[in-house]
Chains A and B, each alone.
Chain A
Amino acid sequence: MIHTINVDRPHPYPPRVTEFTRRFWDGLREGRLLTTAGRRSGQAAFPPKPISPQDWEEEVDWIELSGQGTLYSHTTIHAAPAVFVDELPYRVCIVDLDENVRLATRYVGARNPRVGERVEIVAVRYTDHISYAARALEPANNH
Chain B
Amino acid sequence: MEKSVAIIGCSALPVGKWQSKPEDANQVLEHEVLAKLVVEAVRQAGIDKSDVQGLSFTMNRHYTLQKYFATFMANYLRLPCHGTVSEVLGNGMTGGWAFDNAANDIVLGRARVSLALGVNFETAARAQDHMMSSMRATGDVDFQSIFGITPIAWYAMDATRYIHDHGSSRAELASVAVKNRMHASLNPLAQFRKPITLDEVLEQRPIVEPLGLYEVPPRSDGAVVLVLADEEYAKSLGKPYVRVRGRGFFHEGAHQISEIPNDMTAFASVQGASRQAYETAGVTAADIDVAELYAPCTIVEVLAAEALGLTPVGKGARWASEGRTALGGDIPISTSGGLTSRGHPAYVTPLYSFVEIFEQLMGLAGERQVHGAEIGLTSAELGNYNAALVHILEGIHQ
Contacts and interface: CB of A to CB of B under 8 A. Distances in A.
Interface of A: 11-17, 21, 43, 45-47, 53-54, 72-85, 87, 89-90, 92-94, 96, 100-106, 115-116, 131, 133
A81 B150 contact: yes
A13 B208 CA distance: 20
Given A100-B260, A100-B261, A115-B164, A82 B146 contact: no
A81 to B, nearest CB: 4
B142 A21 contact: yes
Interface residues of B, number: 41
Contact of B206 (A78, A82, A90, A93): A78
Nearest to A88: B148
Given A13-B145, A15-B146, 18 more contacts: A15-B141, A46-B259, A47-B140, A72-B161, A72-B264, A73-B158, A73-B264, A75-B157, A75-B160, A75-B208, A76-B209, A79-B150, A81-B128, A82-B131, A89-B206, A102-B261, A103-B257, A103-B259
Contacts of B256: 104
Interface string B264-277: 10000000000000
7 smallest beta-carbon distances between A and B, as pairs: A84-B148, A75-B156, A81-B131, A15-B142, A73-B157, A47-B143, A73-B161
A115 B259 CA distance: 18
Nearest to B145: A13
A83 B132 contact: yes
A131 B143 CA distance: 9
A80 B208 CA distance: 10
A117 B143 CA distance: 23
Nearest to B127: A79
B209 A105 contact: no
Contact of A81 (B132, B206, B264): B132
Nearest to B165: A115
A2 B305 CA distance: 41
Contacts of A78: 205-209
A94 B257 contact: yes
Interface of B: 126-129, 131-132, 135, 139-150, 153, 156-161, 164, 205-210, 256-262, 264
Contacts of B261: 72, 96, 100-102
Contacts of A21: 142
Contacts of B206: 76, 78, 89
Contact of B128 (A14, A76, A80, A94): A80
A81 B138 CA distance: 13
Contact of A82 (B128, B145, B260): B128
Nearest to A113: B160
A96 B147 CA distance: 17
Contacts of A102: 257-262
A122 to B, nearest CB: 13
Contacts of A47: 140, 142-143
Contacts of A17: 142
Contacts of A92: 147-149, 153, 157
A100 B258 CA distance: 11
